[in-house]
Amino acid sequence: MNLDEYKDFALELQSLCREIIHQKLSKDLDIQTKADKSFVTILDQEIEKCLRQQIQKRYPSHGIIGEEFGELNSDAEFVWTLDPVDGTEELVYGVPLWGTIIALLRNRKPVLGLIDHAALDVCVVGTKGGGVFCNGNLVQQLSPLSESPRCYLASRHQFARSVDEGELFEDATRLFPNVRIYCACYAFTSIICGNADIALEANLKIWDLAAAEVLIKEVGGEFVSFAERTLGDGTPVYSAVFGKKAGVERVLGEVGICSSP
């Protein structure tokens, strides 16, 4: 399967996202609060609408799963997952670590991932078997685990957001004193580009993690989804550890996680 066509299309989508972002950021974002108390803005909605329109126009047989507008033909062989603004709270408060996440699944397995940080002018994109590129430059394979591994965690609140997995947060902070807390996808990009060693995430949706899975594996890392649960509205949520293989193995062995088969 040649994924270059889909990668080129994903980069077209990234360019369109940037246009919308540059148009909207100087205006009123019309900030609202969802039922789960998280923020949503006009930027989240406008980006996802644009992406959906372009996907349906170019690939009408493909499915879509998006954070803002749900599922369309999600049983298709090819399904795009869309997180128009990952880290909306960071966007609202002017912290530039938010980003747009796009992934393509084939038979429910991610084969393409793109994470774009418009505020930082950083974009990583890659395909299964095709390598990963950051701003057009090939990302090297991950180096060995450092002596004092840098572990990225979501906030303690995130570990209790759907199902309380706070003990994982506590165990990880004891195991890796050199912890950094991130609540947006810049943590994923840092792992992919080798600027950190391990990330442990809990209670995320498929649109959060699908791109990270294929990108991490393409740079020689390991991605393990160790828990899947279904919310009351039927939405699945996942917990995962990923990064340098030795670090992931250490987390799985010492934090008390039983990985899914």
Cα separation values, 96 from 45, 86, 158, 160, 246, Å: 19, 11, 20, 25, 30
Domains in the chain, CATH or no CATH each? 4-138 (3.30.540.10), 151-254 (3.40.190.80)
Helix 245-254 and helix 166-175, axial crossing angle in degrees, nearest 10: 120
Element (H, E) at 101: strand 99-106
The predicted pLDDT at position 25 comes to 78
Q: How far apart are CA 187 and CA 215, in angstroms?
A: 13
Work out whether the CA dihedral 257, 151, 236, 2 comes out positive or negative.
negative
The predicted pLDDT at position 15 comes to 97
The answer to whether residues 117 and 99 touch, using CB atoms and an 8 Å cutoff, is yes
pLDDT along the chain (261 residues), means of 10: 93 97 76 66 90 98 96 97 93 92 98 97 98 98 92 83 77 87 90 94 94 98 91 87 95 70 39
Q: Is 4 helix (H, G, I), strand (E, B) or coil?
A: helix
**pLDDT tens digit string along 82-119?**
999 999 888 888 899 999 999 999 999 999 999 999 99
